[in-house]
Amino acid sequence: MLLEQFGGANGELAAAMQYSIQGLNCDDPDRKDMLMDIGTEELSHLEIVGTLARMHLKPMKKSRDSAEADPLIAIAGGGGVGLFNSMGDAWTADYLKITGELDVDLRSNTAAEARAKIVYERLINFSDDPGTKDALQFLMTREITHMKAFTAALESLGKDQFSIGKIPPTLGLVDEYFNDSTGAGDEGETDARGPWNTGGKWKIVESPELEQGVEGQSGKTIAKNHKHVSEETGKTRVKKSA
């Protein structure tokens, strides 16, 4: 299970590579320094996780009973750690999220830290060795520290929360919430309202594909609420015929 944090998607090698390579691509010298600092710290975490995993795997080298717990590690890996996740899948650069846009990368990094944190928490919950728990608690704590640093770095850029890149989104359309699942399913799903679709500038649009005129089973165009929506948005919607 520890191998997930060694060679897994949200593991320490992935974190080290993601932040270091983002740092190499970063033109902002102050934030580049932070990315390189945290990327390097993640390499030290890789060492801690690797050492910890190795301590737990060591008996596999000599004891058949231990080896039977994971023949792949015992026979192919000689009871050592390798760049594989807990399912035995090889580590891949596809795990890395590197966009070349600093604020977008920083958002990826806070999400990556949140995923690493929750994996450590689960490992702690499934661990009964006090020394192992202690090391995992340390690693889990540092991920929150990194999350704080990435968040502060993002906020210090002074960009509006929803300002990504340079081209502004289309006015009006950006505030439309498409109510694409009806809330009338067999499982009693509800059509929910909350701050994600109501209040402020939000405008709820009922099933836009249907509004725009999709051929129904009867061969007639379904657009029963179309007029209603047009009045609401106060403009003509582009109609696509499917």
Q: Which residue ranges make up the site for Mn ion (CB under 5 A)?
A: 12, 42, 45, 143, 146
Query: Please, which residues have CB within 8 angstroms of residue 232's CB and are 6 or more apart in sequence?
Result: 203, 205
Q: Are strands 203-206 and 176-179 parallel, antiparallel or unpaired?
A: parallel
* 235 close to 170: Cβ distance less than 8 angstroms: no
Distance CA 172, CA 232 (A): 12
Taking the complex as a whole, the smallest distance from the CB of residue 143 to Mn ion amounts, in Å, to 4
Nearer to Mn ion, 141 or 181 (CB): 141
Long-range contacts of the stretch 208-213 (C-beta < 8 A, 24+): 208/176, 208/178, 208/180, 208/237, 209/180, 209/242, 211/237, 212/237, 212/238, 212/239, 212/240, 213/239, 213/240, 213/241, 213/242
Distance CA 15, CA 19 (A): 6
Query: Please, which residues have CB within 8 angstroms of residue 159's CB and are 6 or more apart in sequence?
Result: 103
Nearer to Mn ion, 47 or 209 (CB): 47
Taking the complex as a whole, the smallest distance from the CB of residue 68 to Mn ion amounts, in Å, to 31
Taking the complex as a whole, the smallest distance from the CB of residue 205 to Mn ion amounts, in Å, to 40
Query: Please, which residues have CB within 8 angstroms of residue 99's CB and are 6 or more apart in sequence?
Result: 105, 108
Nearer to Mn ion, 12 or 105 (CB): 12
Taking the complex as a whole, the smallest distance from the CB of residue 16 to Mn ion amounts, in Å, to 8
Residue located via tokens 């657009």: 223
Nearer to Mn ion, 122 or 193 (CB): 122
Taking the complex as a whole, the smallest distance from the CB of residue 45 to Mn ion amounts, in Å, to 4
Taking the complex as a whole, the smallest distance from the CB of residue 144 to Mn ion amounts, in Å, to 9
Taking the complex as a whole, the smallest distance from the CB of residue 217 to Mn ion amounts, in Å, to 52
Nearer to Mn ion, 45 or 226 (CB): 45
Nearer to Mn ion, 143 or 176 (CB): 143
Nearer to Mn ion, 111 or 210 (CB): 111
Distance CA 74, CA 51 (A): 16
